[in-house]
Amino acid sequence: MSVVGVSHLTAPVEIRERFAFAPSEAELALGGLRFRSEVQEAVLLSTCNRTEIYVCPGGSQHVQKAAQRVLSEKAGEVVGGTGQYLYRHDGMASVRHLYRVAGGLDSLVLGEAEIQGQVKEAYARAGRSPDTPPLAGPILHRLFQSALAAGGRIRSTTPIGEGAASVASVAVGLARKIFGGLEGRQVMILGAGPTAELVVEALGRDGIRGLVVSNRTYERARELASRLSGHAVRFDEMSFELAKTDILIASTAAPHPLVTRDGFRRAREGSQRGPLLILDLAIPRDVEPEVGSEANVFLYNVGHLHEIMDDNLLKRRSSVPEAEAIVEEYARDFLHWYGARGVVPVIRSLRGRWDDLRRGELERLWQRLSHLSSDDRDLVETFSKQLLNKLLHDPTERLKGGAENGRGVEFIDAVRYLHDLETVEPETSEGWEPGHEEEVKGNEMDVPLADDE
Amino acid sequence: MIAFVLAAAGVAAHAVALARFTVEYGQLPLNGLAPSLSTVALIVGLGLVATLGLGEGRRVGIVLVPVVILLEVVAVSLGLEPAAEMLDFEGTWFAFHVTLAFAGLGGLAVAFASGLLYLVQLHELNTKRMGRLFQFTPPLATLDRLGRTSLVAGFTTFTLALLLGWLWTISFRQSFDQSNPKVLWAIMCWLIFVAALGVRAGDGVKERRSALASVVGFSLIVVSYLGLRLVSSQGGFFL
């Protein structure tokens, strides 16, 4: 199999967004890809940080180019061409890549959890596509199931997803640790910066009593308030609103603090003085540091939030070697399965090829020994079968053994080359249905060496 | 749901064990430090089951479960046997009085644990850290609500226990020994309840004041109790 894609590691956001597929577009594109090439199975993963096409069978230049063409057609004209932003992985490298993606090891924010759901959704969409057979056949089914299991284990057994790793998630974590739930809380945004908007979106609107936006330019405040289903207030009404606020998010571009200690005391005088969380996301700061020493005020500026994020990211990074080991373990398991799966048709083909030779030679022999009785012919035929079985016994056993210890792919390639079996067709996904996935069982590789054995 | 079932099973097993104690020794587990602590643990455990049943979830369990375990560990390590000395009073009224008093002290124990965790979480938030302690400790609002509820419930039951004891004494003994260490200690406990609730009044950070008062108050009760037991071991009997 192969993967061709673009991600945050190879392209900036303005390029990545051009490669992004809507779910309905993905199905059409993959259907077209299968129609135009020898691709049998395909899954398209499209998130805000990556767009990737996993195809099976991979390996050939033609398949990779066909997948690349699907992405390039979506992106359209790009200065310098789309090729400069794309990466390609083949065989085991593509398997490892998917496991790393599902485990959050390849994410913009190391260990982020959303990617697991996105991988699952991409695979599920390909599995339930109206195409027959489904876009995700037996090999990609196994690969994606295994990748999701690897991702799940990485998250449950390593601290890779622990601790908030973005300003918005740190803010949410703080709010939850102060207020428990956000039900009935009043939120105020000071300024109309994009980070404040992100934080409000992360906090979620469920249960929040009210959202107020205040900005020097009232029109911008109204614009943001309408986007966030809140209401705008004029800048001079900010103090009045502050008295009722539980969470204040400040992100103006003002050159001096807008919330001073004296102003804050005046605003909060006579109010219930419940806890107040202030997230000062502005540089220079919007809130005087002295406000943080007021009773029941929890003031966090950009520096504090980044310190928390850096601490968390450090902990996440320390778990990377452990996560990589899990990726390797799952990749090895997949390789075993894949190798074992490929061995069966090769053994059949090997047996068929040598049996054809045997039959051909016997035909020639019967012409020269036409005087032989029927019993004698049977004797010779049995001898030829037994000889063939003995000759093929060791290579077959070694091939099966290789598949079991992870060298199946390597051995299959060698056998196909040495015995000129290059034309052996790989197993297709024709007639395959999700849920009827075969397990690698002992008797699966017990291909009889002779019909009458 | 799993937490509720497990907690209910644990409390049921504890109740069976104390019932066996009652049958074996012919008296309720209210006489002596170890049986008393075990009874307090049972009462706090019942509070946990009730809280889980009401849907407060595992956040409260983080406070209550360690309290129950600590009380039970101390009780078991002291040896679960009744005190050698016989009690002055016995009977239903007495059992009711002591159970209410234990419920009150159990409430204060829970307020102590919530208060301690509140102060820990407050420290984490003020030092701008989000380490394991921060992750583990419940939100400030939850801890404050639990502490306040425990104090109110504890104060109510403890006050009822004192009133019952006083009424019983003056009804059946016609005299009330105000210099009895038990009476003085009980009044001190009651005053600590009043103080812990009283600090919630007024301006400022009442949640922090209340948490601090619960921690200091409960510690005072434990220290004074141990002190009185030490003194009484050389003379008379104290609880």
**Residue-wise pLDDT tens digits, A228-247:** 888 899 988 888 888 889 99
Contacts of B129 in chain A (CB under 8 A): 308, 311
Rounded to whole angstroms, the maximal C-alpha distance in chain A is 121
**A240-268: per-residue pLDDT in tens?**
888 889 999 998 888 889 999 999 988 88
pLDDT digits (tens, 9 = 90+) for B160-211: 999 988 888 887 766 666 667 788 888 999 999 999 999 888 766 788 999 9
B-chain CB neighbours of A164 within 8 Å are 130
Query: How far is CA B132 from each of CA A93, A169, A320, B66, rounded to the nearest angstrom?
Result: 36, 16, 19, 18
Per-residue pLDDT, B81:
80
**The pair of three-digit structure tokens given for residue A64, joined into one six-digit string:** 């990779």
Q: What pLDDT sits at residue A102?
A: 95
pLDDT of residue B237: 52
What pairs with residue A212 in β-bridges? A188, A231
pLDDT tens, position by position, A89-142: 988 899 999 999 999 999 988 888 889 999 999 998 888 766 667 788 888 999
Q: Considering chain B, what is the average pLDDT of its residues?
A: 83
Q: For residues A224, A225, A227 and A228, what is the CA-based torsion angle, rounded to 10 degrees?
A: 120
Q: Is the ipTM of this complex over 0.90?
A: no
Chain B neighbors of A175, CB-CB under 8 A = none
Q: And the tokens for A287?
A: 């809130």
**Contact yes or no for A311 and B139 at CB 8 A:** no
User: B133 vs chain A: nearest CA distance in angstroms?
Assistant: 12
- Placement of tokens 């019983």 in the chain: B168
CA angle B179, B184, B185 (to 5 degrees): 145
Which residue on chain B is closest to A164 by alpha carbon?
B130
Q: Quickly count: other Cβ atoms within 10 Å of residue A441's Cβ.
A: 9
Place A437 in a pLDDT band, splitting at 50, 70 and 90: very low
* pLDDT of residue A162 exceeding 60: yes
CB B186 within 8 A of CB B193: no
Q: Which of the four pLDDT bands, split at 50, 70 and 90, describes residue A449?
A: very low
Shortest distance between the Cα of B10 and any Cα of chain A, in A, equals: 28
**Closest CA–CA distance from residue B64 to any residue of chain A (Å):** 18
Q: B45 near B68, Cβ under 8 Å? A: yes
What average pLDDT score do residues A299-319 get?
A: 88
Reading phi first (left if > 0) and then psi (alpha if -120 to 50, else beta), residue A231 is in beta
The 8 Å CB, 24+ separation contacts for B183-190 are B185/B224, B185/B225, B185/B228, B185/B238, B185/B239, B186/B101, B186/B162, B187/B162, B188/B220, B188/B221, B188/B224, B189/B104, B189/B105, B189/B108, B189/B158, B189/B221, B190/B158, B190/B159, B190/B162
Does pLDDT of B122 surpass 90? yes
Positive or negative CA dihedral for A185, A188, A194, A195?
negative
**Shortest Cα distance, chain B CAs vs residue A164, angstroms:** 9
- Taking only Cα atoms into account, the Rg of chain A, rounded to an integer number of angstroms, comes to 32
pLDDT at A450: 43
How far is A284 from B206, CA to CA, in rounded Å?
33
Q: Hey, are the CB atoms on B125 and A304 less than 8 Å from each other? A: no
Partner-chain contact A179 B141, CB within 8 Å: yes
pTM of the model: 0.65
Contact A178 B125 (CB under 8 A): yes
Residue B176: the pLDDT is: 62
Q: How far apart are the first and last CA of chain B?
A: 39
Report phi then psi at B8, rounded to 5. -65, -40
Q: Which of A9, A13, A48, A387 is flagged as catalytic?
A: A48
Q: What is the mean pLDDT of residues B84-96?
A: 70
Contact between residue A200 and residue A187 where contact means Cβ atoms under 8 Å apart: yes
Contact A403, A445 (CB under 8 A): yes
Tell if the CB–CB gap between A308 and B128 is shorter than 8 Å. Answer: yes
The pLDDT score that the predictor gives to residue A391 is 92
- Which pLDDT score, from 0 to 100, does residue B178 have? 67
For residues B28-47, give the mean pLDDT. 82
Question: Residue A359: helix, strand or coil by DSSP?
Answer: helix
B59, B140, B204 member nearest A275 (Cβ) = B140
Side chain identity, residue B153: A
Is the preceding omega at residue A284 within 30 degrees of 0, hence cis? Answer: yes
Identity of the residue numbered A419 = H
Place of tokens 């049977």: A378
Q: How far is the C-alpha of B221 from the C-alpha of B214, rounded, in Å?
A: 10
Smallest CA-to-CA distance from A200 within A212, A218, A184 is with A212
**Any bridge partners for residue A50, and if so which?**
A7
Q: Is residue A56 among the annotated active site residues?
A: no
Question: Residues B82-95: what's their mean pLDDT?
Answer: 70
**Is residue A348 very low, low, confident or very high in pLDDT (cuts 50, 70, 90)?**
confident
Q: Looking at CA atoms only, how far is residue A106 from chain B in angstroms?
A: 25
Test B139 with A179 for CB contact under 8 angstroms. Answer: yes
pLDDT of A445 strictly over 50:
no
Q: Give the residue-averaged pLDDT of A360-383.
A: 92
Q: Which residues of B touch A (CB under 8 A)?
A: 59, 121, 125-126, 128-131, 134-135, 137-142, 203-205, 207-208
B134 vs A contacts (CB less than 8 Å): 177
pLDDT at A86 over 80: yes
The predicted pLDDT at position A423 comes to 57
Give the per-residue pLDDT at B25.
84
CB pair distance less than 8 Å for B205 and A298: no
Structural contact between residues A14 and A57, judged by C-beta atoms closer than 8 angstroms: no
Write down the pLDDT at residue B36: 82
Three-state secondary-structure class, residue A207:
coil
As a whole number of angstroms, the distance between CA A232 and CA A190 comes to 10
Chain B contact set for A184 (CB, 8 A): none
Q: Which of A151-165, B48-62, B176-190 has the highest mean pLDDT?
A: A151-165
| Residues B140, A178: C-beta atoms closer than 8 Å | yes
Among A275, A295, A307, beta carbon nearest to B204: A295
Top pLDDT among B201 and B156 is at B156
- Shortest alpha-carbon distance between residue B67 and chain A (Å): 22
Quote the minimal CA–CA distance from A199 to chain B in Å: 18
Min mean pLDDT across A9-13, A82-86, A430-434, B177-181 is at A430-434
The backbone torsions φ and ψ at residue A373, rounded to the nearest 5 degrees and listed phi first, read -75, 170
A-chain CB neighbours of B204 within 8 Å are 273, 295
In DSSP terms, A300 is beta-bridged to A279
Alpha carbon distance A116, A150 (integer Å): 10
* pLDDT at residue A446 in the model: 42
Q: Do A177 and B205 touch (CB under 8 A)?
A: no
> What residue type is assigned to position A39 of the chain?
V
Instruction: Give the chain A residue nearest B60 (alpha carbons).
Output: A180
Residue A444's pLDDT is what?
Answer: 39
Which pLDDT does position A103 carry in this prediction?
94
Percent of chain A residues past pLDDT 90, beyond the cut: 35
CB pairs under 8 A between A and B: 51
Minimum CA–CA partner of A175 in chain B: B139
Instruction: Provide the pLDDT for residue B222.
Output: 84
- What are A393-424's pLDDT values in tens digits? 998 888 888 877 767 777 888 888 888 876 55
pLDDT at A185 over 80: yes
Is residue B1 scored above 90 in pLDDT? no
How far, in Å, CA of A89 to CA of A103, rounded? 17
Helix, strand, or coil (residue A249) = strand
Query: Who has greater pLDDT, A441 or A350?
Result: A350
Burial of A178 (0-12, 13-18, 19+ CB in 10 A): buried
Spatial separation of the C-alpha atoms in residues B31 and B95, rounded to whole Å: 10
- Are A211 and A238 spatial neighbours (Cβ–Cβ below 8 Å)? no
**CA-based torsion, B132, B136, B141, B146: positive or negative:** negative
Report chain A residues whose CB lies below 8 A from the CB of B139: 176-180
Question: What average pLDDT does chain A have?
Answer: 84
Please indicate whether, in this complex, the C-beta atoms of A295 and B141 are within 8 angstroms of each other.
no
Instruction: Select from B139, B203, B208 the Cβ nearest to the Cβ of A177.
Output: B139
Given B128, B130, B142, which is nearest A180 (Cβ)?
B142
As given in the structure block, the two tokens for residue A393 are 């016994």
Whether residue B125 and residue A180 make contact (CB cut-off 8 A), yes or no, is no
Measured CA distances, A117 to A45, A124, B142 (Å) = 11, 10, 31
CA distances from A136 to A128, A143, A304, A419 (A): 8, 10, 46, 32
Disruptive mutation site among A169, A177, A316 for chain B (greatest number of B CBs within 10 Å): A177
Measuring CA to CA, which residue among A407, A402, A12, A330 is closest to residue A144?
A: A330
Contacts of A307 in chain B (CB under 8 A): 128
Please give the angle made by the CA atoms of A25, A29 and A31, to the nearest 5 degrees. Answer: 120
A281 neighbors A199 (Cβ within 8 angstroms): yes
Nearest residue to B211 via CA among B156, B103, B137: B137
